[in-house]
Amino acid sequence: MSQKSRKKSSKTSSGSSTAKKKTAKARASTQARSAQTQRTPAGKSTGTTAKAGSHKAASEQLKSPKTTSPPAQAKSGLVEGQKAPAFRLPRDGGDVVTLADYAGRKLVLFFYPRADTPGCTREAIDFTRLAGAFTAASTAVLGISADPLKAQEKFRDKHKLGVPLISDEKHEMLEAYGAWGQKSMYGKSFLGILRTTILIGTDGRVARIWRNVRVDGHADEVLEAATSL
């Protein structure tokens, strides 16, 4: 073989080897990119799934119903037949009223949330309207709220009320008779006066309890119970 032919053969062999190396390198690079490409969607898929799960949980939380406010509950466990709790509190006009003042008589105690509000006004007017009938049934009537005496007296004068109004600003009597407890309004819970009426018999025991009172017709119902007692 001539020197020229040997050089040509050597160059051809060297070129073939270099080409093979480049091909192998290109193949390895392609495989690496392919593997990376396969891994990347999996990662994105996992992230997407996690986001979807998070979004679903948040959506379910938003759709979940709001917590229902608990119904009005009294703190006291006062029941019918129990001895009526004693009390001593100021009333409109400046006098002091006690349970002992009504010993041997039937007594109605109507607890109302606030003086001069619509429902409380109607209730106090109804008991005033029936004052004569209660007297005929040998039954005294007292209205009680946590309003100060000045507010009670203003309430009395404005609506010409004919029943004594007691002020229990410390809630002592209200709690003793179960007229103070948890209430709810517009989704919020708070402590306040529960509209309650108690009928006490001549023996000083609780004869009847009305809780969560509806004002309309209530005073007439209490009069009927007092008359039949």
- Given a contact cutoff of 8 angstroms between Cβ atoms, the answer to whether 149 and 94 are in contact is yes
Spell out a b/e string for 118-128, using b for 16 or more CB atoms within 10 Å of the CB, else e. eebbbbbbbbb
Q: Which position among 120, 140, 219, 226 bears the catalytic label?
A: 120
Considering Cα of 80, then 84, then 90, then 95, what sign does the dihedral take? positive
Residues with Cβ within 8 Å of 159's Cβ and at least 6 positions away in sequence, in order, are 116, 121, 124, 125, 128
Contact 112, 193 (CB under 8 A): yes
What does the alpha-carbon distance between residue 78 and residue 59 come to, in Å, rounded to a whole number?
46
**Distance (Å) of CA 121 to CA 78, 193, 196:** 26, 15, 15
Which residues are 191's β-sheet partners?
182
Active site annotation includes 197: no
Alpha helices in the chain (DSSP H): 3-63, 118-129, 131-136, 149-159, 172-176, 218-228
Residues with active-site annotation: 120
